[in-house]
Structure 1
Amino acid sequence: MPVALYALAIGGFGIGLTEFVIMGLLPEVAADFRVSETAAGYFISGYALSVAIGAIILTAALTRIDRKKALLGLMILFIAGNLVSAVATDYTVMMLGRIIAALCHGAFFGIGSVVAAQLVAPNKKAGAISIMFAGLTISNVLGVPLGTMLGQAAGWRSTFWAITVIGVLAFIGIMLLVPARTGSEEKVLPGALRREFSAFRNPQVWLSILVTILGYGGMFGGFTYIAFTLTEVSGFSSATVPWLLILFGVGLFIGNIVGGKAADKHLGRTLLILLSALTVVLVVFAVTAGNPVMTIISLVLMGGFGFATVPGLQLRIMAYADQAPTLASGANIAAFNIGNALGAWVGGLTLAAGLGYTSPLWAGAAVTVLGLLVLLLALWFRGGEFSRKPLAKAKQELVV
């Protein structure tokens, strides 16, 4: 794989760290700004909302700009946002820093997916996308616990200073390693934005977005409240939870790589199998959550099957967006975050209804089944896509 993909992965690592590390630092941040932990939690929800907005608006705004320059500009935004967070003097400034950093998130992964795909042969596109997203998964496996430890030892601001440095390294890597334009990349012409929006005339693009929201949202619905399941049902201590989440992150990392390779061979079939398997895992997890050994196995598998869908879901929408995949790719990144919010909301409803700490897992399974049904509908419209190597012609003709 081209070394430029690893420069994109460094950017993905920094962005993933920005999104998730604050979860482990909320007590310190809340105490520093003298706000409740609920108010500090808005740094997480505010970030997610900004990701969804930025994925559409910034991607659209950057359609007429060379993609390498767009990525460099987004990394500057990322660096600035984390720098603001590191020096924030009050709650409002900190929130501003979170919003600035979040705005680049969706556009970076959306444009980065297109750049990653154009760097390799048609039969390796999903694998290339998975390498970029590997940075995001590694941030969960190693970055979040190490960032939390750094913040607890040297103050939470030190973590954001470290993320700022990672952003600078990613900027340098992209500047030096990512080509300005590959031979397959279409020249940016006037009317590019109109052409990008025209991709949404294809029903398969909207079906792909819906599969992303429901399929990924199902996993996140189960994961959002996993700490309660682990401590109240499985019997683990609170001190054990971070280490168990590392195992979940290992599942994310392995699933991302394996899912990318599988999607390059049979895209539709791979997504069908993965969503089916994820549904089964969520159900088994809910049924056996009282068994610590089964809980650990289910936790790893939930992360593995859940994130294994990501490269394929991203490739699918890019392929159906024909000659204008950039905005559709960004929209799908927004869809992942909408799925996060949907899954968390549905899982929260089950808890509020008094259905118990395994109820978010059942809710996640139900949401995933809906995603599976939408995928089956999309495959049926495609004409049995899952029965053969899908989109081979589309991937060969895809100009990215």
Structure 2
Amino acid sequence: MTTDKARHASILLSLALGAFAIGVSEFAAMGLLPFYASGLGVSEPVAGHAVSAYALGVVIGAPVLAVLCARLRRRAVLIGLILAFAAANLIGAVAPSMSVLTGSRVLAGLPHGAYLGIAMLFAADLLPREKRARGVAQILFGLTIANVVGVPLASAIGQSVGWRSLFVIVALLAVASALWIARVAPDPDPVQGASPLRELGALKNRSVWLTLAVGAVGFGGVFAVYSYLSAAMIDAANAPGWAIPLALSLFGVGATAGNVLAGRLTEWSQMGAALVLLLGMIATSLLYASVIGSWPLMAMSILALGVTASLVIPLQTRLMDVAGDAQTLAAALNHAAFNFANALGPFLAGLALAAGHGWASTGIVGAGLSAGGIVVLGILWLDSRRGALAPA
């Protein structure tokens, strides 16, 4: 029994290391934007295209790769995806121009959603059905630990040694994950009857789309606040420079604790867990809006917001139940939906700021988006009740 537990832990850690590499690459690249803008001789708005390019790669790559890889062995797919991610980051490390760096970020984003989605399915299959949420949560620990430790450390190294070193570090982490997966992960046969056509069946499933919409809308509330946190702390609260990475790390600390909470809540009720987390997003976003001007209180409210940021766990577990034979595509689409939220939240918050409503408006917008997620969740719940009450 102890041996089995140790083996399962090693498998989960090998998968989580890949998630850690993905988290460092995605978030630390945002923090180093001024440095590669200067290094490549472009303005910061132009350099920001690299951030958008990564999100575009995720949205495109998640469904496409999930469908194309439907018939392949999951272990081989995971290894291939994380090695492709490593290669794309190495291209970024040697990019001679902004256009090449932007292209490399599209390539790096392509395997993101498919890797995380398949890794979560892989982890869930190692555990009993009633504990699947814990498997999903353990993969997400790679992303949350990346925010707590990896991003600040990689950013510090990038600033002292050069921004290109970030992409080298990420590539090495990804290669280490691939080697570890190859060594410890089992290699089960592909799901019987799996095919691209069967995976595409998820696109006809109303429950799948509603579950994805909960995250796409509701989680936009987190990004509406998080994306403008640094600027708000500097402009509205005159925060010292060291307070910014502290606040970002506190968000990661909250998200790490939230993973544990969300996993336990999901074992109790998938929709109940989603509702609790969305209500928490509303409360903490409004709290953030009310304390604008005091950077210590803003930082503490971001810690609380981080606790609610594990909405992906109940939604991913819900998709496992409703996606039927299209598990891989549904899991990958979940990460595409959260990247849509990454675009929607900052866009709407930016409109509020441009209209002159002040930094507190980002919290108001965030609360509104999370409330929208609850509306979609309510529709999903009503649909599930109709299905449960329908005659057999």
Q: TM-score range by the shorter chain?
A: over 0.9
Choose from 198, 202, 205 the match for 2:201.
Answer: 198
Output aligned runs, 1:115-130, within 5 Å.
115-130=122-137
Residue identity opposite 2:234 in structure 1: T
- The Cα of 1:51 is off from its aligned counterpart by 0.7
Identical aligned residues as a percent:
36
Aligned twin of 1:216: 219
Choose from 151, 172, 176 the match for 2:183.
Answer: 176
The SS at the match of 1:238 is coil
- The Cα of 1:233 is off from its aligned counterpart by 2.8
Aligned twin of 1:271: 274
Asked if 1:61 is matched to 2:64, the reply is no
Aligned twin of 1:153: 160
Choose from 258, 263, 266 the match for 1:260.
Answer: 263
Aligned twin of 2:228: 225
CA distance in 2, matches of 1:6, 1:149: 25
CA distance in 2, matches of 1:58, 1:111: 11
Choose from 186, 191, 211 the match for 1:186.
Answer: 191
The one-character-per-residue Cα deviations of 1:184-211 (angstroms, maximum 9, x if unpaired) are x733x3x622211212322111110110
Residue identity opposite 2:243 in structure 1: T
CA distance in 1, matches of 2:365, 2:105: 30
Aligned pairs, how many?
Answer: 381
The SS at the match of 2:310 is helix
Contact 1:123-1:265 at 8 Å conserved across structures: no
Choose from 154, 158, 166 the match for 2:173.
Answer: 166
Asked if 1:241 is matched to 2:244, the reply is yes
The SS at the match of 1:308 is coil
Runs of 4+ in 1 over 6 A off after TM superposition: none
Contact 1:134-1:257 at 8 Å conserved across structures: no
Q: Structure 2 length as normaliser, TM-score?
A: 0.93
Asked if 1:367 is matched to 2:374, the reply is no
Asked if 1:35 is matched to 2:37, the reply is no
Asked if 1:90 is matched to 2:97, the reply is yes
- The Cα of 1:283 is off from its aligned counterpart by 1.0
- The Cα of 1:356 is off from its aligned counterpart by 0.3
CA distance in 1, matches of 2:358, 2:146: 31
Change (3 A) 1:136 1:195: same
Residue identity opposite 1:205 in structure 2: V
The one-character-per-residue Cα deviations of 1:286-306 (angstroms, maximum 9, x if unpaired) are 11223444323211011111x
Asked if 1:207 is matched to 2:210, the reply is yes
The one-character-per-residue Cα deviations of 1:208-230 (angstroms, maximum 9, x if unpaired) are 01101011111111111111222
**Which runs of no fewer than 5 residues in structure 2 stay unpaired?**
none
CA distance in 1, matches of 2:227, 2:298: 15
Aligned twin of 1:397: none
Q: Structure 1 length as normaliser, TM-score?
A: 0.91
Contact 1:200-1:321 at 8 Å conserved across structures: no
Contact 2:258-2:310 at 8 Å conserved across structures: yes
CA distance in 2, matches of 1:160, 1:241: 22
Change (3 A) 1:276 1:91: same
- The Cα of 1:89 is off from its aligned counterpart by 1.8
Aligned twin of 1:135: 142
Asked if 1:47 is matched to 2:47, the reply is no
The SS at the match of 1:290 is coil
Residue identity opposite 1:85 in structure 2: G
Contact 1:351-1:357 at 8 Å conserved across structures: yes
Change (3 A) 1:239 1:384: farther
The one-character-per-residue Cα deviations of 1:138-186 (angstroms, maximum 9, x if unpaired) are 111111110011111111112211111101110011111211117xx73
The SS at the match of 1:383 is helix
- The Cα of 1:28 is off from its aligned counterpart by 1.7
Output aligned runs, 1:340-355, within 5 Å.
340-355=342-357
Give me the CA root mean square deviation. Answer: 1.7
Aligned twin of 2:88: 81
Residue identity opposite 1:209 in structure 2: L
Aligned twin of 2:284: 281
